[in-house]
Amino acid sequence: MNCQACGHPIEFDDARFCPNCAAPLEREPEVVEAVAVEQEPEADPNSVPFEDTSRPFLERYVATVTLSFSDPKKLFSSMKDGDLTGPVIYGLITGSIAGIVGLIWQTLFGSMFTMFEGYGVEEFAMSGFMHVAMVFVMPFAVVLGLFIWAGVYHLCLLLLGTQTRGFGITLRAVAYAYGPQLLAIVPVAGGIVGGLWAMVLTIMGGFYGHRTDAWRAVAAYFIPVVVCCGVMVLFFMLVGIAAASGV
């Protein structure tokens, strides 16, 4: 650069005064090109409160159960596939509570039935022992049933041409649909209503979770139900035919 006053060439870039005339040097402001940085849109946060480990355990559990009753669309629409620990624990706790409460009611009503029918002490004790044993088996049965049903539902979705987002989404749909089963605390009607509601939530979980068509989510749920019912009907028909023919 040159001195603006006398035109003397300036050799040093950091010089503040002209060495020839001592005039202050005026520097042109540096032009910095603004580079637009394209930022990726922020992904939707996980909509399942139970998987937010920054919150207390009981708080996120209650929030997830509440959401399954109040706004299932919000619960299922932004589920993230990944670690299955959260949904498995939720399904284990919820399914075990519902199952154990159901056993308690069954034991109470069964005890009343055995008293009226005049069963002996041995029958009563055996019934109580079986129910206690089922309490200890319940958690294992819940987890096993969760994976089996999620696997069957996921397979049916695939057979119907659904572009699934992974098995983890299907398992979450099944696990987080367990919430209404807690209605088992209401004797008789609570278990029935909770089971039907859980069925609807599972279908909604498949629909919103995998962004699929509604008919695929519904059909995928009922295909194994229809097949099982058909197998049972066929079995009893064969038994009846065998009994009628004296085999």
**Per-residue pLDDT at 229:** 87
**Per-residue pLDDT at 19:** 64
3 state DSSP class of 10: coil
Phi, psi of 44, rounded to the nearest 5 degrees: -65, 135
**Per-residue pLDDT at 108:** 76
Ranges of residues in the chain with a pLDDT under 70 are: 1, 4, 8, 11-45, 110-129, 131, 246-247
DSSP class of residue 21 equals T
**Per-residue pLDDT at 116:** 53
**Per-residue pLDDT at 183:** 93
**Per-residue pLDDT at 220:** 94
Closest CA to 69 of 174, 171, 175, 179: 179
179-226 pLDDT tens trace:
999 999 988 788 899 999 999 999 999 999 999 999 999 999 999 888
